Amino acid sequence: MKWRRSGIEEELEKFEDLEKLKELEQLQELDKKLDEEFEEELKVLEDAELEEEELEKGGTGVEEGGGEEEESVELELKEEEKLEEELEVELEEFEGELEELKEELEKEEKLEETELEEEELDEQELEELEKLKEFEELE
């Protein structure tokens, strides 16, 4: 009877470990996606900064009829700055979400560790009770 119970408990533990492993893999995939999005947004920001620098260097040298082009360049710069600010806000949000996920993962790992320790203690208690029963039966 004891061997059957421990076999069932082992299978249950394997199943629970498998579920937690799947959750961990999902969190890791989400972390990877967030990292990729972060890299893409960072690249967009860097490209926007390079374009802004290029426009600042060569965009104001038009003598005649340059008023419209100058306004166009200024509008583009303002739009790029606005886009850059929006991307920075999104980046901060993603970093916050990533940090929350990491904290949640740590909590789950600690909880799992605590549960395993409790299960070990329960098993020890059961073994001690069985030994006590056997001892009492022998007396």
58-93 residue pLDDT tens: 755 444 455 677 788 888 888 888 988 888 888 888
Q: Which of 18-22, 38-42, 129-133 has the lowest mean pLDDT?
A: 18-22
> Using CA atoms in the order 107, 112, 114, 120, what is the torsion angle rounded to 10 degrees?
-170
Compute the distance between CA of residue 78 and CA of residue 57 in angstroms, rounded to an integer.
Answer: 16
Record the pTM. Answer: 0.39
| CA pair distance 4, 10, nearest whole angstrom | 10
Q: Which has more confidence, 106 or 139?
A: 106
Compute the residue count for the chain.
Answer: 139
The whole-chain average pLDDT of the chain stands at: 82
CB 17 within 8 A of CB 115: no
pLDDT of 1 > 70? The answer is: no
Question: Tell me, what's the pLDDT at 63?
Answer: 45
Question: Closest Cα to residue 41, out of 97, 2, 88?
Answer: 88
**What's the gap between Cα 134 and its chain centre?**
51
- Contact between 77 and 52 under an 8 Å Cβ cutoff? The reply is yes
- How many other β-carbons are positioned within 10 Å of the β-carbon of residue 50? 10
Of 46 and 16, the one with more pLDDT: 46
